[in-house]
Amino acid sequence: MNSNETTTLVKPEVILLENLLREIAEGRLRVPKFQRPFVWRPEQMTQLFDSIDRSYPIGSLLIWETNIHLASLDQIADFPIPAPPTDGRVAYLLDGHQRLSTLFGCLRKTTPNTSSDEQHDWLWEIYRVLGESSDRNQFQHWKKPTEPPENYLPMRSVLRTMDFLTFARRLQEADKFTGRVDLLIDEAEELAQRFKSYQMATVRLVGGDLKQAVTVFSRLNSSGQSMSPDQMVSALTYQNDDTETLADRIKAIQEDVDSDGFGTVAAITVFRSILAVAGEEDVQEARWEVLAERIGERLAESVDKAAASLRRAVAFLKEDVGVPLARLIPYNAQIMLLVAFFNIDSAPSDNKRNTLGKWFWTTSWSGYFAGANTTQIKFALQEMKDFASGTADLDLNGQVARPFPDRFDMRSARIRSFLIWELQRYSDRLDHAGEHIDAVGLLAKLDTGAYRHVMTHGRNASSPANRVIMPTLPGFSIKRTLLDLSGPSGDRVFESHGIPTKAVEKLRGGDTMGFIKERANYLASEERAFISGFGVPLSKKIAADADIDTE
């Protein structure tokens, strides 16, 4: 894929939003297939509209104008886009897909939602609520297959005169807005004018080849870069045919892992794992244009190997270590390093697997990868490869297990390692009726919401000892549910959650603080015994605040 043009001209511009949307509708401004799909959440969409309404800048777009043909999306925001013109240049959107898709889908939509309350039906239905306070976001989705209130201005009407007049006529006919209609229509007209006159900052790249365009992008957008590393390399290695891009393959790998109930492994972690398998030493930082050249020819093979090695790594984490969910892995670097290991040694001996297990627990407890820099990761990667090939051992000397965490925060690797242990240690939890609780399933579904507070406020309320995974009857708090337990059956429920007798006595005596303290001491003692079983040195402190140290 070459061009006769050898240089790329960079032209800053300011373009009316309405003109940009028209270019998309006519097929002249296109989204290349190597871009990530539309992923914005509904609240991000309404925030974008609110920013435009307030005349705030929403960031610049990056457009590449070229006579090179790139495979591009034939749908944007669920609406079909005509084929690109066959004569002359075509413009490709390199940065701004999420923003322009939101605006195109909502402002160019022609018919209201009348089919269902499913998200795919209401996603492009954004309304401006007229006559409300302007100190908060007045834009919202209409999620029902019914007519919205008359003062809900459909954003699809602001660029269409006839649709706007239809809205105004409907508002005038509404009895409940008598005396306010003129004010509401004035407000709607002012908003429509703001959108019609809104201008977007655009950087237009003219000429050159794809490599030059993406290289310019990476340098122009080095701060707050929105194109992820895998998308960058996808663009630079793109072959302009039906072959899957690197970003496509990474998504497929993520779905493969997630389909087994393990949850989603971050795309950047999969990407770095692919680099490690491809033989790259620096998987943290890279010049993408250099990296694409270096691994381009062996990219497909490296992706296949990384996918297979990731499956082995996940199996090891689940079966040998007891990690039930990707969400709980303390550091993403641990996944990448395990992938690098299993790429070299796909069927390790029991001794090696035991060493890997000790390595995982030790680096998790000690915070070994907290804030790890490029040099540390390069060293750890080489050490893991040497261990896999049998030329060296993993050096775990000098690592000390951090104390029991005082604060429950899932952004802490120490909390995640505690939860992995706690889910194993108390795997057969019982509810108030003595029935088994699927703690892992609840955690996968509700995330931190699965752990409910016994004490809802006050000192020590953030302690892990104040959290219990236990569904309750409607209207019943965890504290009330625990207090209602009695007799041998109640004792079994308490025991299944790691709540010792002393803690129960404190709770029943009205001393909730004492309950948390007794349970924390008990859990810390139990966990320290587990840590000691691996021969890992313990901190002299029993408990301490948990660092926020995950990616």
pLDDT in tens, 473-489: 999 999 999 999 999 99
Tell whether 331 and 408 lie within a shared domain: no
Residue type, 294: R
Q: Tens of pLDDT along 338-365?
A: 999 999 999 999 999 999 999 999 999 9
At residue 4, does pLDDT exceed 60?
no
Q: Yes or no: say if 386 and 379 are a contact pair by the CB < 8 Å rule.
A: no
**Amino acid, res. 146:** T
Q: Measure the CA–CA gap between 184 and 250, rounded to whole angstroms.
A: 49
User: What is d(CA 93, CA 42) in angstroms, rounded to the nearest whole number?
Assistant: 22
Mean pLDDT lowest among 132-136, 370-374, 519-523: 132-136
Range of the domain at 73: 1-224
The answer to whether residue 107 sits within a structural domain is yes
Please report the pLDDT score of residue 3 as a whole number. 43
Residue 282: what pLDDT?
Answer: 87
Note whether residue 397 is domain-resident. no
> Mean pLDDT, the chain, as a whole number?
89
Residues 208 and 333 grouped into a single domain: no
Q: What is the pLDDT of residues 27-51, one digit of tens each?
A: 999 998 877 778 899 999 999 999 9
pLDDT at 226 (0 to 100): 54
- Report, as an integer, the average pLDDT of 181-192: 94
Structure confidence at residue 250 (pLDDT): 85
Q: Give the whole-angstrom CA distance, residue 385 versus residue 154.
A: 58
Q: What is the pLDDT of residues 44-89, one digit of tens each?
A: 999 999 999 998 989 889 899 988 888 888 999 888 999 988 777 7
Is 229 domain-assigned?
A: no
Residue 392 in domain: no
**pLDDT value at residue 406:** 92
pLDDT given for residue 235 in this prediction = 67
**In the predicted structure, residue 493 carries a pLDDT above the cut 90:** yes
DSSP conformation class of 30:
E
Exposure b/e, 460-491, CB count within 10 A at least 16 = b: bbbbbbbbbbbebeeeeebbebbeebeeeebe
> Does the residue 399 lie in any domain?
no
- Residues 321 and 462 placed together within one structural domain of the fold: no
**Residue at 286 is within a domain:** yes
3-state secondary structure of 200: strand
Phi first, then psi, for residue 139 (nearest 5°) are -100, 135
Q: Does the predicted model carry a pTM greater than 0.85?
A: no
pLDDT score for 68: 82
Query: Angle at Cα 223 formed by Cα 220 and Cα 228, nearest 5°?
Result: 85
Residue 313: C-alpha distances to residues 259, 329, 375, 439 (Å)? 15, 12, 23, 23
Q: Based on the domain organization, do 154 and 268 belong to the same domain?
A: no
Work out how many domains the chain is built from and give that number: 3
Distance CA 329, CA 416 (A): 7
What pLDDT, in 10s, does the model give residues 298-325?
777 888 999 999 999 999 999 999 999 9
- Residue 283: enclosing H or E segment and its boundaries? none
178 and 324 assigned to the same domain: no
Q: What is the pLDDT of residue 295?
A: 64
Q: What pLDDT was estimated at residue 10?
A: 84
Which pLDDT score, from 0 to 100, does residue 221 have?
52
Alpha-carbon gap, residue 412 to 334, rounded angstroms: 15
d(CA 453, CA 438): 18
Classify residue 538: in a domain, yes or no. Answer: yes
Q: Dump the DSSP string for 340-355.
A: HHHHH-SS--HHHHHH
Q: Which pLDDT score, from 0 to 100, does residue 129 have?
A: 94
Residue 70 and residue 240 in contact, taking contact as beta carbons nearer than 8 Å: yes
Q: Flag whether pLDDT at 224 surpasses 60.
A: no
* Same domain, residue pair 158 and 293: no
pLDDT tops 70 at residue 447: yes
Q: Is the pLDDT of residue 222 over 60?
A: no
**Do 510 and 411 share a structural domain?**
yes
**Is 394 domain-assigned?**
no
| 192 and 127 share one domain | yes
288 and 371 together in one domain: yes
- The whole-angstrom separation of Cα 192 and Cα 202 is 22
Q: Which of 75-79, 201-205, 533-537 has the highest mean pLDDT?
A: 533-537
Cβ atoms of residues 438 and 430 within 8 Å: no
Residue 248 binned pLDDT confidence (cut-offs 50, 70, 90) = confident
Asked if residue 163 and residue 130 are part of one domain, the reply reads: yes
Q: Quick one: 111 and 27 in the same domain?
A: yes
- Say if residue 60 is in the same domain as residue 178: yes
Written as one letter, the residue type at 168 is A
Split at pLDDT 50, 70, 90, the class of 130 is very high
